[in-house]
Amino acid sequence: MRLNINKTAVESALIGGAILGGGGGGWLEEGEKMARLALENAFSEILPLDSLDPSSLLLTVSAVGAPSAGHNQLLPEDYLRAVELFLEKSQAKISGLISSEIGGLAIVNGWVQSVFLGIPVVDAPADGRAHPLGLMGSMGLHKIKDYISQQAVVGRTREGKLIETFLVGSIEETARTTRELAAELSGLVAVARHPVEAGYVRDHGAPGAIGQAISLGQLFKEKHQAGLDSQKIVASILDFLGEGNLFTGKVNKYSLWAKEGFDLGLIQIESSSGEYELTFWNEYMTLEKRGERLATFPDLIMTFEAETARPLISAAVKERMEIIILSVPAQRLLLGAGVKDPVLLKKIEAKIDREILKYHRYLI
């Protein structure tokens, strides 16, 4: 089913996207700016994957970097330029644009590029939540022997000078170079990458994830407009997704280190039900209560302002802030192949010094 995009749908998409981002997926404020520009230029619909021929080529578009870099590091034309550069260098015939993930910014990936280049956006993100590694948004392409990745990367120096490059090589090599460029520049780059057939995306991506986010955001808005308190608003998300945990507490300690193009950090929360700990590597990775593991990436872990229920990415949380924490099992999410890869999940363990794989044996 085609998704009709208007101001109301945008509001729902941004809220639902931010929630499913799980602490990452970009700043909601940046998503609002990009969506507004797209609407002003007549962006009006998103196509379902099944409306395309399985052999049609889809191009993944994304922003790569650390959320703490802020939400004013790239201009809308930088995202557009990344797709233009890809088309110029690759000469590929692209039938649709897909987002690498879902998040407050990520859910509108491709919208601006679509209206200016005439390439439709397709509701088939590479992943139905946000994730830290570019390989996690590559839908398992890195497992295909001899697959050659093409990536167009556009960024800006801290002084605002435009930098662009086109990369060809293995997915691992190009992903690493892209992340290094983000770290060296302003902390964030716009990327267009990995042309792949629609049939492959159907089997390895997360078709329908944008529609799910819009439905979730619509529910969130309805509960808010009905005057429910924040706890009940966030609890409605659990009802929508099926199951999970929910608690409210005060942030006692917040630590963040920007390293190698990522945000790495730890949050300690004091609640009436006990002491909790969150770790994050851009997205929230683990949730524990006094050493007992409650949720583990790719489970959805998300934070909200306790007063307003506004979704908070990991970089937006502050000490002494009252927050609501939600977690939902991975089985309840639309996930791409990349976040189910045990080799990639194993990489998280070294970064956050916490076990990941043993909590997701069903994925192996």
Compute the average pLDDT of residues 23-52.
96
215 within domain boundaries: no
Domains: count for the chain: 2
Question: Are both 251 and 301 inside the same structural domain?
Answer: yes
Cis peptide before 207 (omega within 30 of 0): no
Q: Tell me: pLDDT of 10 over 70.
A: yes
Q: Is the pLDDT of residue 132 over 60?
A: yes
Q: What is the pLDDT of residue 183?
A: 85
Question: Is 285 found in the same domain as 150?
Answer: no
User: Are residues 286 and 258 part of one domain?
Assistant: yes
234 and 192 assigned to the same domain: no
Distance CA 271, CA 131 (A): 27
Burial string for 262-273 (b: 16+ CB within 10 Å, else e) reads bbbbbbbbeeee
Please state, in angstroms and rounded to a whole number, the distance separating the CA atoms of residues 219 and 108.
19
Considering only residues 182 and 260, tell me which one the structure prediction assigns the higher pLDDT: 182
> Which pair of tokens denotes residue 341?
């890869």
- Tell me what the mean pLDDT of segment 313-321 comes to: 96
What is the band of 74 on the pLDDT scale with cuts at 50, 70, 90? Answer: confident
Residue 224 lies in a domain: no
Q: What's the pLDDT at 187? A: 83
Residue count (the chain): 364
- Cα separation, 183 vs 185, in Å, equals 6
Q: What is the DSSP string of 154-170?
A: EEE-TT--EEEEEEEE-
Shared-domain flag, residues 39 and 99:
yes
* 203 and 98 co-located in one domain: yes
Instruction: Say if residue 362's pLDDT is above 80.
Output: no
> Any idea which of 66-70, 82-86, 98-102, 139-143 has the lowest mean pLDDT?
66-70
Last residue of a domain, one of 209, 237, 272: 209
* Sign of the alpha-carbon dihedral angle for 258, 260, 262, 267: negative
- Annotate 33-84 with DSSP letters as a single string: HHHHHHHHTT--EEB-GGGS-TT-EEEEEEEEE-GGG-S-SS-HHHHHHHHH
For residue 311, CA distances in Å to 14, 254, 292, 307 come to 10, 17, 25, 11
Say yes or no: 184 and 240 in one domain: no
Token pair 């970064």: residue: 351
With respect to residue 218, please indicate whether it lies within any of the assigned structural domains: no
How far, in Å, CA of 281 to CA of 349, rounded?
Answer: 10
Say which DSSP state 300 is in: E
Asked if residue 27 belongs to a domain, the reply is yes
User: Whole-angstrom Cα distance, residue 130 to residue 300?
Assistant: 9
Q: Is the pLDDT of residue 32 over 70?
A: yes
To the nearest whole number, what is the mean pLDDT of the chain?
94
Flag whether 286 is in a domain.
yes
Q: Is 253 in the same domain as 147?
A: no
pLDDT for the residue numbered 363: 60
CB atoms closer than 10 angstroms to residue 257: 12
Residues 202 and 281 grouped into a single domain? no
Supply the CATH number for residue 357's domain: 2.40.390
Judged against a pLDDT cut of 70, whether residue 124 lies above it is answered with: yes
Are 131 and 54 found together in one domain? yes
- In-domain check, residue 221: no
Same domain, 164 and 233: no
- So what's the pLDDT on residue 299? 97
Average pLDDT over residues 27-33: 94
Contact predicate 52/198, CB 8 Å = yes
Reported as a single tens digit per residue, the pLDDT across 165-195 is: 999 999 999 999 999 998 888 788 999 999 9
Query: What is the domain extent for residue 340?
Result: 229-363
Domain termination site, one of 209, 240, 261: 209
Retrieve residue 116's tokens. Answer: 């200016």
Q: What is the mean pLDDT of residues 322-339?
A: 96
For residues 166 and 86, what is the distance between their CA atoms, to the nearest angstrom? 7
Of 209, 241, 256, which marks where a domain is finished? Answer: 209
The conformation of residue 282, written as its DSSP 8-state character, comes to S
Which pLDDT does position 195 carry in this prediction? 95
Answer yes or no: is 223 within a domain: no
- 22, 166: one domain: yes
Confidence of residue 361 (pLDDT cuts 50, 70, 90): low
What's the whole-model pTM score?
Answer: 0.95
Q: What is the pLDDT of residue 65?
A: 84
Query: Would you put residue 72 in left (φ > 0), alpha (ψ -120 to 50) or beta?
Result: alpha
When pLDDT is averaged across residues 74-96 and rounded to a whole number, the result is: 96
CATH of the domain at 19: 3.40.1610.10
Sign of CA dihedral 266, 361, 123, 216: negative
Residue pLDDT, tens place only, 195-231: 999 999 999 999 999 999 999 999 999 999 999 999 9
Q: Among residues of the chain, what percentage have pLDDT more than 70? A: 98
Find the helix or strand (DSSP H, E) in which 114 lies. helix 111-117
CA 150, CA 91: separation in Å to the nearest integer? 11
- Cβ(276)–Cβ(246) below 8 Å: no
pLDDT at res. 72: 57
Decide if 31 is inside a domain.
Answer: yes
